[in-house]
A = this chain, B = another copy of it.
Amino acid sequence: MGKCGLRHRLGRQPAVIPKAQATRQMLSRNPTVQPEINSIKAEVDEIKRRRILEEAIGQFFDKGYEATSLESIAEGLGVTKQFIYSRFRSKAELLVAICHAGAAAADQTVAFSATLSGDPAQRLAQIIRYFVRLQIEHRREVALYFREAKSLPADEGLAIDSSKQRFHRMLRGLLNEGKASGKFDIADASLAASALGGMASWAFTWFQPEGRWVAESVATELAALALRTVGVPDPLSYLADEPI
C-alpha cells in the first residue's frame, strides 16, 4: 500500500462519520443493492474496489490525473494492472467513480435532511454540520471533481449538476421555511443558500488534517456561523447538545 493508501490516512484523519457506512455509500458501484454485500465474497470485492479508488484518489490528487498511470496505481497498491482491470475498464472509469463520490456529499446531505424534523434552526445546524464533515472527509474527491468535471462524459457531468441543484433547493426550502416562521431574518433565501453553501463547501480547499483544526470542530463552528448568517441570535444553544 502506497503512502496515500487507506490505512495511512485513517491513522491521521479521524473518521467523522461512521466509516463503513460512509464508504459504502460513497464508493460502492450500486449502493441500493445492500443485502448482497453481506456475502463474504461481495464484501471482499468491495474492499478491493475501495482500495483501488483510495490509491487513485491519492495519486490523482497529488500528481494530477494526466500525470498518473494505471501502472503507478497498481505499483502503489503492490498489485498487477490486471487486478485493477478486473474492476475498472480504464483510468477514465476510475475518475468517473471518484467524481461521483465527490458530488455524493450533496446527495447524502439531502437524504439526511429528509430524516430531520422540528425547528428550522436546529435542522439547519445539523445539515451544515453533516455536510461540512463530508466535504472535509472527502475533500480530495471534491477537489478532483472540481478540477476534472469538465473532462467527464456529458451525462456524468449532468448527473453531478443535478446533485448540486437538489442540494441548493433543499437548503433554499429550509431557509424559506425559517423565514416564513420568523426564525430566520434573510432578504432572499436563494442567495442566502448560495452563501451558506459556499461557506460550508469551501472547507475542502483549506482544511488540512495536519493543521490545528479537527474536522468535527470546524463542522460545529461553521454551523454556528451559518445560523448567525441567517439571523439566529443564539446559535450555540442549537449546537451544545448535538450528538457527535
Contacts and interface: CB of A to CB of B under 8 A. Distances in A.
Interface of A: 64, 66, 146-148, 150-151, 187-188, 191-192, 194-203, 205-206, 213, 218, 221-222, 224-225, 228-229, 231
In the complex, the 10 A-B pairs of residues with the closest C-beta atoms, listed nearest first:
A198-B202, A199-B199, A229-B229, A64-B150, A195-B199, A198-B199, A198-B198, A195-B225, A194-B206, A147-B147
B228 A188 contact: no
- Copies assembled: 2
14 contacts: A64-B151, A146-B146, A146-B147, A147-B147, A147-B150, A187-B224, A194-B206, A195-B199, A196-B199, A197-B202, A197-B206, A198-B202, A202-B202, A225-B229
A26 to B, nearest CB: 21
Nearest to A193: B206
A205 B147 CA distance: 13
A23 to B, nearest CB: 25
A191 B221 contact: yes
Contacts of A187: 221, 224
A218 B192 CA distance: 10
Nearest to A224: B187
Contact of A229 (B150, B188, B206, B228): B228
Contact of A228 (B199, B213, B224, B228): B228
A128 to B, nearest CB: 11
Contacts of A213: 191
Contacts of A64: 150-151
Residue among A194, A196, A213 with most chain B CB within 10 A: A194
Nearest to A191: B221
Nearest to A64: B150
A231 B188 CA distance: 19
A177 to B, nearest CB: 18
